[in-house]
Each structure stands twice: as structure tokens, then as C-alpha cells.
Structure 1
Amino acid sequence: MDFLAKNFKYTTQTFKEFSRDVDAGKKLYLRALSADKPSDTPARLETDFPSISQDFVLPPQLAMVQERLFSSVLRVSGPVNMWLHYDVLANIYCQLQGTKRFYLFPPSDVTQLGFAPGASSSSIDVFSSLASSSLSNCHPYEAVLAPGDVLFLPQLWLHTATPVSSSSIAVNVFFRDLEKGYSSGRDVYGNRDLAAYEKARQDVSRISKSFKDLPRDTRQFYLSRIADELLQVAAD
């Protein structure tokens, strides 16, 4: 699936129909939403699927995840690749059935992986690109999850996944691991960028407009200096 190209469509099915089609090998992907308020409220397994939620229990070593819980998302899929993206919230991916392969990249690789300004998703096909060595400047990590495995995905780590088995069932638990800095307002998926970044992008727009009437060489000179100053701050 490619979120930017939207090479998929949303459909409504009963869970029975969906399960039957996944078992038949169809390319389907379920990312659960809130049963009551899908446009306003994050998904919670215990609220959205109460009859099965008691079967999923985090180990005591992950008590902090439960204490800072944002959402717990049921994911069921057939032979479908997830697009390359990053999450602003830290999360753990708990594989329940089937096997899935993940590729993770550290946040420092973001400039090498086709992320447009302000976008948290990329259209790069990591699986094809790694095979062709076109991502030689990146630093991928590979993880293959079997039933019972838990993968920690730190905030801002870029990742994509592909099923190894014909189908996959997992629960993805998102939690807040920062004391502050999150954006306020609606955030159903827990993937809204930090408040400082949202404000900074507005500042970038204002800065670029302030130079628009200057000659091209002059504009490039000063904007390049500003960009260099920001890189120096980032390196500190």
C-alpha cells in the first residue's frame, strides 16, 4: 500500500466477511478505528473489541506503556505491504498470529528516504530498493516477528512491514513517552507532529515569503546561511 498514491480503497465489510476474504488470500488490511467515534477518538481494544480484549495482556515489564497508553489498535492483514512511515508516538507491535518482516531506519535517515516536507509517509518501496542497493546510504535494521514477539518502535523511527505468512494478526499499542511537546487538538491516529515542528513549518513559510522580492542569488545566499545555522543547532 502507498498512502501518498492512494493505491487502495476503503470498503465496509462485516468482520466475518473480512476474515473469510483474508483466509482466501485477498489483499486486505484492517486498521481498527474507534467503534463509537472513529473521527474523534483513538482506537482502544478494550472498548472496541470487549469480547476479545481480555485475551491480550501486556507483560508487567511494560507497565509504563499501559500507564501512558494512547491507543491499542487491532491489525489484521492479508498479503499486503505497509508503506514506509514514521510515528510521532512510541509504540510496541505485538504479533499474535502469522509472521511479519519489519525494516526500521533511524530518524537520521529521513532525508534519504523520500519524505516530503511535512509528510510522515514516503512512497519509496523499501523492499525493492534494498534489493537494488539504492538505499546504500541508509542504515536499515531488520526484524522478523513470529507469534508472541513484541517489537519496540521508538518515536520517529521510519519503518515498513511485509507479511511472511499469508495473513497476520497483531495489536499495536501507542503510548506517550515524552513529558511534553505534543500538539493539542484532535489526533485520532496518534501521529500528529510535535507542536514545535508544526510551529516551525509556519515560521519557514513566513521566512521564505520575506525574501521573495529579492534577487535569486541574494535570496539563496541568505536562506542558505539560515539553513546552515539550523544545521549547526541540530548538531549541538
Structure 2
Amino acid sequence: MQSIEIVDRFQRDFFESEVVPAYRPVIFKDAVSHWPLVQQARKSSVDLMAFLEARATPGKIWTIEAPRDSGGRFFYSADGCGFNFERKITTFQHFSQRLKNWVDDQHAPALSMQSAFVDEHFYDVRESHSIPVFSSDIRPRIWIGNRSVVATHYDHSENIACVAAGRRRFTLFPPHQISNLYLGPLDKTIGGSPVSMVSLLSPDFDRYPRFEEALKHALVAELEPGDVIYIPTLWFHHVEALEGINILVNFWRSSGGAASGPRPADALLLALLTIQDQPPSIKAAWKSFFDYYVFDTFGDPSAHLPEELKGMLGGMDPDMAMKLRRWLVRQLSEAGE
């Protein structure tokens, strides 16, 4: 596996002009080492959890827990009918105490509080844990747990993930490796997007032979407290939390254009609904249309048209996008009647 590139400029102008257009993951070493969470983590896990306990808001939190024999991997059950973990409601104080009790247990059940809004669960933490490359309007999420493995998956948004405590190993695959990752179902997912059915830590190459090709394209990095990773939209990533207590804070930013609202993933689902069961010849024909109109495979499809005739091919302004959305809603409503 290749290492992920390390850059030293965690600045918005550089990020937007150099990092985002390259569409490659990068590491920013020590970019958030000044965060209070990182400073507390460098003291001890006791200081770290006391810092959060003192700022935890009243009320319940959601956690997930996988048994000792799961190897820390949050995944499907052995029969494929469910999952190998349970979702539980508890308090942060109880959750924190269990983490501390198991901090030195190498084979403890995998316990995690995932994707929780920082400002919803902790007082006075969001303001002191910001990043310069995304808008301050983006609400950070916090992930707290012990040793665990998150299966290879992708996000629909750009991801800035900041390691605040513990160590995390990220293994990334570019989107074009999708056919070699053996993805699970679209409609029964572990966390919202399909995951690879292959165990990265113990791959079965007899069952999943194309995964060997995917590994040739894999990028890997082990991050320490204060380090930051940028994961572009649709890049697959496998994440291992390696310590008794690990904390990650992440920021998701939509990569949508002027036609905000529906996501590209919605178009994929609509294509499954309307094209998947067509005869092979018709599917091939629609592929040609998508290549021409959507993916610019043959260049600008409106290049031969005068400006006054380009319409939506000349760019989707907000008014045009709204009209198109309304038209699509009517079409879908009528089709369901």
C-alpha cells in the first residue's frame, strides 16, 4: 500500500485551490494539536474523559456495542439477516465509565458513540474545536469509543476528520475501485452507505479475488492526536481505532453545485428504478445518453448551440433548478398513481 501525501498548509486558500481540485486524500500533520481535546488526551485518558464529562449536556445518547468475539468489527451478523452490534440508549456518564473500565482490555466489547453533533452533546466545545478550511456553519460531529473497526465505505460529502485522542489507521481506495470492493446492499446498510463485504484485516481472496487488485491502489496512513485527514467525496475508507479510548471530530461538507437539493445518489437510485431492468440494448443506449449529456465524454453537448438555445445544457441556475425539481416531483407522483 502507498502512503497518503502529507501537506503542511492547513489554510483555506491553499485547500480550495490545490487540495480539492486534485481529488486526492491528504494528511495535515499536527493541524489541530492546539485543540483542548488533544491537549487533554496527551495528559491521560482520565483527564480527557473528565474534560468531556464536565461539559456533557443532560439527557440520553445513542451508542453501538459489538460483542467480544466480533474482533471490534461493526458488521453484519453471521447469517446476514441483521447486524453483529446493538444500538443502546444511555447517558454519557455511564458510557464514559464503561470506556474507562475497559481501557486496558485488548478484547473488550467494541463500544462507540458515533456521529453525534458536538454542540448538541457538549457545552463550550464546538467553539474551541474549529478548522480554518471549512465554513464555521458546518456543525462538527464527534466519535468516541474504544478499539474498533469500521468497514470500508464511502461518504456522499467531503470529509475533514481530526484525530483528537488515540490513534487511527485509515486505508483508502479511489472510487474507480468500486468493482473490486464487493459492496454490500444499498438498502440495508450499517451506517448509511454500502460497505465492502471483504474483511481488510483478513481478506478471503478465494471468495473475493478482485480485492487483490483493489489493494494495489490502496492508500494508508496512521494518524495520531492532532493529525487531520481530508477524504474527498466518494473515496472509500476503512477505519481502525487502535487505542483503549479514541476520539475523532469530523466535518462533512456537501459537494453539490448550483442545483442544490437532490443528491447525485438520488439520481443513482432513480436510475436503478427506471433503467436497471431494461433490456441490455436499451441500457447500453441510455449509457450513451448519460455519457453525452451528463459526463461530457464527448465534450460540451451544447457547444454547437447558440446561447439562446442552450437552456439547461448551458448551466443550471437556481430558478431553472427549482423548475426542474418541481417537474420531476410531478412526474414521480404521477408514475406512482
State the superposition RMSD in angstroms.
3.0
Q: Deviations over 1:64-99 (max 9, x none)?
A: x12562x42110011111122100011111000100
Find the partner of 2:154 among 86, 90, 93.
86
Find the partner of 1:66 among 135, 146, 149.
135
Please state whether the residue corresponding to 1:109 is helix, strand or coil: helix
2-structure distance, mates of 1:131, 1:116: 17
2-structure distance, mates of 1:230, 1:79: 47
Instruction: Name the CA shift for 1:109/1:231 in 2 (closer, same or farther; >3 Å).
Output: farther
2-structure distance, mates of 1:68, 1:194: 24
Q: Is structure 2 residue 135 aligned with structure 1 residue 101?
A: no
Instruction: Name the CA shift for 1:169/1:117 in 2 (closer, same or farther; >3 Å).
Output: closer
TM-fit CA distance, 1:181 = 5.2
The within-5 A match list for 1:66-215 is 66=135, 69=138, 71-116=139-184, 118=186, 120-122=193-195, 123-129=197-203, 135-138=211-214, 139-180=217-258, 183-184=261-262, 194-205=265-276, 208=277, 211=279
TM-fit CA distance, 1:232 = 6.3
Identity between Structure 1 and Structure 2 (%): 21
Q: Is structure 2 residue 111 aligned with structure 1 residue 22?
A: no
Query: Which residue pairs with 2:128 in the alignment?
Result: 55
Q: Deviations over 1:103-134 (max 9, x none)?
A: 11000011111124646322321222299995
Q: Letter of the aligned partner of 2:202 in structure 1?
A: S
5+ residue gaps, structure 2, are 1-73, 103-107, 188-192, 298-337
What is the number of residues matched between the two proteins? Answer: 202
2-structure distance, mates of 1:227, 1:150: 41
TM-fit CA distance, 1:31 = 0.9
TM-score (norm 1): 0.72
5+ residue gaps, structure 1, are 34-42, 185-191, 212-219
2-structure distance, mates of 1:204, 1:224: 6
TM-score (norm 2): 0.52
1-structure distance, mates of 2:96, 2:136: 32
2-structure distance, mates of 1:137, 1:230: 30
Greater RCO, 1 or 2 (C-alpha within 8 Å, sep 6+): 1
